[in-house]
Each structure stands twice: as C-alpha cells, then as structure tokens.
Structure 1
Amino acid sequence: MKWCNDSDKEKGNEYLITPTNTPKAIINLTEGIHTIKCPSCSHNMEVRDQGGIHGLPAGVKFDPNDQEILEHLEAKVVSDVCKLHPLIDQFIPTLQGDNGICYTHPEKLPGVSKDGQVRHFFHRPSKAYTTGTRKRRKVHTDDEGSETRWHKTGKTRAVFAGGGAVKGFKKIMVLYTNFGRQRKPEKTNWVMHQYHLGSNEEEQDGELVVSKVFYQTQPRQCGTSIIRDPP
C-alpha cells in the first residue's frame, strides 16, 4: 500500500493508492468528513473524524513492501509534507531512548504481540560502545549475566528504487537469548527487518531507520531458517 497527498488545497482530497492492478479508493477530507468510495461498486461512505485522527475502515491493512517502506522513511527524514502521509505516525510510531528497539524486549513494544502481525517503528540505532562502529543489539542482561540480543543473519540486502538505483538497505535480525557465560544461544521466534537509506550497507550512528518487528508463528515451509521474508 502506498500513500500520497494531493498538494492542491482547493481539491481537499487525499488519495489512498492501492497496488497497480486494483482501482483507486478516494478519501475526501473536507470539513472533517471522509467520503470513502468503494473501488469495486463506487458506493460512497461518509466517516467523521474522531479526535482529529483520520480513521480508516476496519480491515485496512498496512503492509508496505520494501520500496514503500523506504519511501515512508525518506519522507520522514526530509519532512516532505507532500510525500509524508498525515497518518504515518499512527502506523509507524517513533521510538526513542530507553524505549527503543535495542533497549526493550519486542513483546513490550507498543502494539506488538505474538499473533504474527507486523508492527513498524521509526528509531535511531546507537553504538554499543563509545569507540568503534559496532551497533547496540543487546536488549537485556539478567542477574546471572545471560543476555538477550538481536543477531544479524544473512547478508545485508540492497533495496532498489523504481529506476534500478539503490535506494537503501535491509538487514534481517533474529532475537537470541542466553548469550554469555559460555551458554549456547537459543533462537527465539522474534524477527526484525531493519531498513536504512543511502548507498552504504551500514547505517550511521543516530541515523533514522525504520524496522518491522513480528513474532514468527509458523515454521517456514522451505528451508530451516525463520529469517526469510514473511509471506
């Protein structure tokens, strides 16, 4: 799914652009009323704003692909009001400081559960140490020294723009427990895909990135790894 704002204020329309093989659904944001046109039968449905938040019908799923995720990130980074959807902070909240992804167990992140649903977050990675370039991945250390941390798996993958140029990169991580004190690390079902912009495979310290986090509810049908892209 991809969002775009109409810069013509006189039209007062905001377009929800569905994939290219489906019709467009037009949402009219005039005087606090949404006119939602069914892309199948063209029936108009009016929905009033509540609390200043532009709601969407139940069942609308936010499931952007890799390219669209980077488009949302780019619009957020440059604060492009034409490209940045006014509801994006509802779908991709920003996590900061001690509430960040690499400081908090994923099951404690807002809106995250073990139901297999994907949740997206803007956040800023930080260095593990004051010197060096290693990023912080440790989530928790218990009194016995056992650690819970994100572990990168596989290669960093390039994400290409429509013209074929590299727009950014994607890393896949899996949460492990029992790191430290010569214990055998145990793989959990928590998975994270992290995206950043630019032509460098490594994100910069403090750079705004976007990650999607989910709990893998079913084993993969092909291969033994749980780190492949969700269907």
Structure 2
Amino acid sequence: FPPGYYFNPTDQQLLFFYLKNKILNIPLPQIITTTHDIMEVNIYEQSPEELFSIYENKRKKRYFFTERERKYPNGSRPNRLAGNGYWKASGTDKNFRNGDLIGYKRALVFYEGSPRNSHKTNWIMHEYEL
C-alpha cells in the first residue's frame, strides 16, 4: 500500500466517482478492492452491530454498495427493515450537483424492534443516491 494511504473520501467523491462508476460498471481502483474499503453487501440482512463485527476494520466508518429493495413491488418506497430493526430517515436530504448529475446524501438512524414497538439507537448511516 502506498505510504500514508487512508480511505477518507468526500461526499462528492463517493457520489460522483465511486457510486457513478459502480452504476456504470467501471471497476474500482485495485487498492479499494484489495483493502476492502468499499464492499458490496446487502446491508439489510443484518443489524448495524452485526455488520460492524462481520466486516471488521480499524476505523469507525464502513462503506458498502447495496441495492435498495422496494417495500412494495410497484412502489417507490424503500424497504429499510434490517436485522432486528429498521432504518429511518432523519433530517433533510443534502443535494450535490456535478454538471447535470444530481446526487443526494440522506442520514438514517437505526431503530431496534418493530416500527410499532421500537427504540432509537446511536447507529447512523449515510445513504448516497444518484
């Protein structure tokens, strides 16, 4: 690895380089795949605590590519159930623009339990969308 290498991308880099290239099927740089800095994982199969223990590294952040599942087959609402709880959007989306391309960053908070009987946790996820 190059001396001093540390993966710390900006929001714009995540959106307009990594996510855009993923959507266009352009391979990630080899160092990213070798170090598992961004992994392709269905994050909705586990709770965030399980994800952090399965995909262990020395940092507090994890980066994943995952396809969003729809709550209803013909609907637009995403299904955010995950492990022993669900992710809930928090606050307002942040918009980014790169020419004609618009990207969004959304904060989500993890709640343990069912939507009718749950409690908020300290887990936060940032979702990026083009």
TM-score by length of 1: 0.48
Which residue in 2 is equivalent to 1:73? Answer: 19
Alignment of 1:39-118 (within 5 A): 55-57=1-3, 60-70=5-15, 71-80=17-26, 84-89=28-33, 90-95=36-41, 100-109=42-51, 110-112=54-56, 117-118=60-61
1:174 paired to 2:109: yes
Check whether the contact 1:102–1:139 (CA below 8 A) recurs between aligned residues: yes
1:149 paired to 2:95: no
Give CA-to-partner distance per residue, 1:53-112, whole Å, 9 cap, x none: xx344x53211110011111112222346xx422223210111xxxx1122111222435
Give CA-to-partner distance per residue, 1:88-144, whole Å, 9 cap, x none: 23210111xxxx11221112224357x861110111111122242221111135xxx
Segments of structure 2 that go 5 or more residues without pairing to the other structure are none
Which AA in structure 2 matches 1:157? K
**Partner Cα distance (1:152, 1:93) in 2:** 22
Largest Rg, 1 or 2: 1
Residue number among 184, 190, 193 corresponding to 2:123 in the alignment: 190
**Partner Cα distance (1:77, 1:150) in 2:** 23
Q: What is the aligned-residue identity percentage?
A: 30
Higher helix share: 2
Check whether the contact 1:150–1:173 (CA below 8 A) recurs between aligned residues: yes
Name the SS for the 1:172 alignment partner: strand
**Partner Cα distance (2:82, 2:55) in 1:** 18
**Partner Cα distance (1:86, 1:160) in 2:** 27
**Partner Cα distance (1:88, 1:129) in 2:** 34
**Partner Cα distance (1:93, 1:116) in 2:** 14
Question: How many residue pairs are counted as aligned between the two chains?
Answer: 125
**Partner Cα distance (1:139, 1:126) in 2:** 11
TM-score by length of 2: 0.80
Computed over aligned residues only, the root mean square deviation of the Cα atoms, in angstroms, reads 2.4
**Partner Cα distance (2:38, 2:6) in 1:** 13
**Partner Cα distance (2:23, 2:86) in 1:** 27
Name the SS for the 2:125 alignment partner: strand
Check whether the contact 1:171–1:193 (CA below 8 A) recurs between aligned residues: yes
CA gap of 1:130–1:76, structure 2 versus 1, over 3 A, is closer
1:121 paired to 2:50: no
